[in-house]
Amino acid sequence: MRWTTAKVRQSFLDFFAARGHTIVPSASLIPKGDPSLLFTNAGMVQFKDYFLGVRTPQHLRVADCQKCLRISGKHNDLEAVGRDTYHHTFFEMLGNWSFGDYYKEEAIRWHWELITGDWEIDPKLLYATVHKDDKEAEDIWLKMGVLPRERILRFGDKDNFWEMGETGPCGPNSEISIDRGKGACKPEKNHAGQKCFVNVDGCERFIEIGNLVFIQYNRDASGALMPLAKKHVDTGTGLERTAAALQSIETGKILGNYDIDLFQTIIHKIEQAAQKFGDKARYGKNEESDVSFRAIADHARTMTFLIADGVIPGNSDREYVLRRIIRRAARHGRYLGIHRAFLAMAHAGVVEAMGDGYPEIKAAASKTAEIITQEESRFGETLDRGLELIDTELARIKKSGGHTVPGEVAFKLYDTYGFPLDLTEDVLRNHSIDVDVAGFDRLMDEQKERGRAARKDDAGAPEISLGAGTASRFVGYHRYEGESEVLAAGGKDGEHVAIVVAETPFYPEGGGQVGDRGVIETASGAILEVSDTRKADGSIVHVGRILRGDANDFRVGARVKLKIDRIRRDAAMLNHSATHILHYALRDILGNTVHQAGSLVDPDKLRFDFAHTGPVKDDALATIEEEINARIRENAEVTTDEMAYDDAIKAGALAFFGDKYGDRVRVVRMGDFSVELCGGTHISRTGDVGMFKLEAESGVAAGVRRIEAMTGNGALETIRKREKFLEEIGAQLGARDGAAVERLEKLLAREKELEKKLRAMEQKLAAGGGAGGAEAEEQVRDAGGVKVVTRKLDGVDPRTMREMADRMRQKHGSCVVALGSDLGEGKVALLVAVTADLTAKIKAGDIIKNIAPIVGGTGGGRPDLAQAGGRDASKLDEALSKVATLVQ
Ligand code: SER
């Protein structure tokens, strides 16, 4: 094949490189430093700041192939995926950019040259569109004289004005579409009989293969269009649809996007899964299973690339998008008859088809497969039951002639069976049935409310209202003391009070690090003991109790001296710096998909939660601990800088979606290994941490692990404490170190054995001596007026026999008891006991001497109790029955 997808990609880049464009790599699917976007949804996302004039580009002409995801927000194609042949959630966008350099004319001319020249597409198949008010663009097309007037079409904002999101750079555009021939669209199916044409929604015959946007505005938060200082070009060409068009021309067949070489590699893998585990469907044979093939192929790409860019399945933001995609794909697997995890196979197809162009998916392949399979298997447990519930519900609705699934059912599917709402809707769409979304939302809100109520119990937080105008400044990065003036005060005498001062060395809780404690004093000797420091609306609030003086001493305007608890701060500081080193080490050793999910830094220890599937193995934990301690011994310099957020991100600083950062941020660097955005307090060299000791690794939620650790003196104390435990254990066992372990192993083995015996015995006793077995029940006989009680036992040892004899004597009162037990391995035991009232006439010792020989043994004892051993278990009955005769 001449126009393989790889060739199309390369030819685009070569074309623009030859026209002065610098080729740049694709940016991550996770936009860096753009909280307005969940995912990179267009090639221009990484260049947004150049358009806005916030940053200055290095090159004025750039071209690339950008991985894009259209699955949320303004550009969301999820619902169309699979149902037609050209929509995707994940796709590759070819683009060329001019940052204030060339404009409409070159953009249009070059694309025409590329499409009709290099790609040799017949101009007769092509159409151009322009915005109805963009006379300039229309004139350029007319002047070029390459298309007849009737194939230069005008459209309004809906079709010819492009915007990246609710806000951001935008402008009118000009698009180039190709007519793929009559057979490419089924109007009756795709757009309800409407005539096939350019910009008819759902028409698969006229497909846009070039979108040239002339960026000249910024849509601001109020919705207004603000002209930009410079005019720019942003073009987008879908790689898959272009390859489909070229491969169709080449083969003479009408091929959809999913028929191109790249997708066939993926679909082939899905066919293999269907062969092996499913109903053996093949692509292209049946429209219904084709929808599933396409959806799985699309979703496999999305999950592969998302995971490689550091997203893991979960319940918030991006994580939930990934979870939904995996679950939807798993559901399509069921439609191909596959009732087990199989998506790792589709993922392998993606890596095979695209790994050369995107090394990140190759590098993350085994981990990605693991994450996908884990999520898929977990959902697999409830997927079938959920689908059953939907079937039942469908039957009910069809019978009653309704059209809507109640919110309760959708909520149950969500809450109990893990069906994201969009998945339920997707399943129902085939049946033209809706979900009562409002009802579903209400139940969701109620559940959230219950969760909030449960969390409300924020113990000990004093209710303090502060005056306005209380912005304060933290000056305590390198100071433990300071002087300032009270700006606001609240609370009552005898209770917690709160004060805000202009400048404070007290660190307010933030970035996981706990707030400082200490004292605030006045010149008159009043003392406020600060038990916590927090942030509230730009102020730093000190909370505590007045130890001397009263609230009046700390009124607004009072001069105060502030002193923090230095030991506590220093200890917290070590833990905070160690947290950065830990974060680095986790990413270094477990991979870049690890990212922080939560952190607590207090003086005693640090706790770090991070995204990772499955427990961290012991040897990896050991390596992590070693790496951290090596970095500590390296004694690397720790530096902090204030800079613009964008510069920090450019410098590779770790920042997290969902965290709020201002325009200027603080960047903390350690040696050459760690760069993080952080407002916390830190040591000046990594050696200050002294030592790092892992305390525990555990799971806190699906896909989230927790590490707890100690540093400095805390680490030393932990080790000492453990040593002490070991010593105590050694002392108890009477052995040390290796010998203690051996000893313990023996004890445990013995305990196990004893437990087994005990259980067996208990069972026997409970069964009343095992009727029908070797044991027998008590036999009570009268021997000349004396009660004789005998019992044959199995495996009961002599000591237990004595206990049993005691109980039997108590139970029967005046009597003679005789017990015989088969101890196994050719050994037997006999016991005779006589109650005190009878010992004058009947002596246990005498009886035993007479019966022991019957079982081949000897024995003797006191008048009230005698025991004997023997070797012939088959004679036990005979020996016992002789007792009555002897007594008589
Ligand atoms: N931004 C436009 C698009 O995404 C052109 O690149 O289609």
Atom of ligand 1 nearest to the CA of 68: 4
Q: Which amino acid is at 608?
A: F
CA 130 to ligand 1 centroid distance, Å: 15
Residue to substitute in 162, 177, 217 for testing ligand 1 pocket (most ligand atoms within 8 angstroms of CB): 162
The 638-644 sheet, strands edge to edge: 638-644, 664-670, 674-677
Percent of the chain predicted with pLDDT > 70: 94
pLDDT score recorded for residue 460? 37
List the alpha helices (DSSP H) in 645-734: 645-650, 712-733
Which tens digit of pLDDT belongs to each residue from 55-76? 889 899 999 999 999 998 778 8
CA 116 – CA 226 distance, rounded (Å): 36
CA distance from start to end of the chain: 111
pLDDT score recorded for residue 661? 62
pLDDT score recorded for residue 656? 58
Tokens of 76: 């969301």
CA 43 to ligand 1 centroid distance, Å: 6
CA 152 to ligand 1 centroid distance, Å: 20
- Give 3-state DSSP helix, strand, coil % of the chain, rounded to 5: 45, 25, 30
Beta bridge partners, 510, equal 513
Tokens of 487: 């700006």
Q: Is the CB of 12 under 6 A from ligand 1?
A: no
Which tens digit of pLDDT belongs to each residue from 723-778? 998 998 998 888 888 888 899 999 999 999 998 888 887 777 755 554 334 567 88
> Does the CA dihedral 348-350-356-358 come out positive or negative?
negative
Q: Is the CB of 162 under 6 A from ligand 1?
A: yes
CA 135 to ligand 1 centroid distance, Å: 21
Q: Phi/psi at 337 (nearest 5 deg)?
A: 80, 10
Q: Which amino acid is at 469?
A: G
pLDDT score recorded for residue 235? 98
Nearest CA to ligand 1 atom 4: 42
Q: Is the CB of 170 under 6 A from ligand 1?
A: no
CA 222 to ligand 1 centroid distance, Å: 23
Nearest CA to ligand 1 atom 5: 236
Check residue 652 and give left, alpha or beta (phi > 0: left; psi -120 to 50: alpha): left
Q: Is the CB of 69 under 6 A from ligand 1?
A: no
Cα–chain-centroid distance for residue 517? 34
Q: Is the CB of 679 under 6 A from ligand 1?
A: no
Name the nearest CA neighbour of 337 among 239, 414, 270, 421. Answer: 270
Residues of the chain with pLDDT under 70: 33-36, 450-470, 492-495, 537, 656-663, 766-775
pLDDT score recorded for residue 315? 77
CA 223 to ligand 1 centroid distance, Å: 20
Q: Is the CB of 171 under 6 A from ligand 1?
A: no
Q: What angle, rounded to 10 degrees, do the helices at 407-415 and 365-400 form?
A: 150
What 3-state class would DSSP assign to 277?
A: helix
Give one DSSP letter per residue of 90-122, joined into a string. EEEEEEEEESSSS-HHHHHHHHHHIIIIIS---
Atom of ligand 1 nearest to the CA of 211: 5
Tokens of 649: 């991100």
List the alpha helices (DSSP H) in 309-364: 317-335, 343-354, 359-363
CA 233 to ligand 1 centroid distance, Å: 10
CA 696 to ligand 1 centroid distance, Å: 48
Strands 596-601 and 559-564: unpaired
CA 436 – CA 442 distance, rounded (Å): 10
Cα–chain-centroid distance for residue 747? 42
Q: Which amino acid is at 346?
A: A
Q: Is the CB of 169 under 6 A from ligand 1?
A: no
pTM above 0.85, yes or no: no
**What domains can you pick out in the chain, each with its CATH number?**
5-256 (3.30.930.10), 262-381 (no CATH), 473-564 (2.40.30.130), 569-720 (3.30.980.10), 775-887 (3.10.310.40)
Q: Is the CB of 210 under 6 A from ligand 1?
A: no
> Does the CA dihedral 328-329-330-335 come out positive or negative?
positive
Nearest CA to ligand 1 atom 6: 236
CA 137 – CA 211 distance, rounded (Å): 13
**Rounded to 10 degrees, what is the CA torsion of 688, 693, 697, 703?**
20
Give the H/E segment covering residue 876.
helix 876-887
CA 2 to ligand 1 centroid distance, Å: 27
Beta bridge partners, 829, equal 821, 869
Q: Which amino acid is at 23?
A: I
**Rounded to 10 degrees, what is the CA torsion of 66, 69, 72, 74?**
40
pLDDT score recorded for residue 415? 82
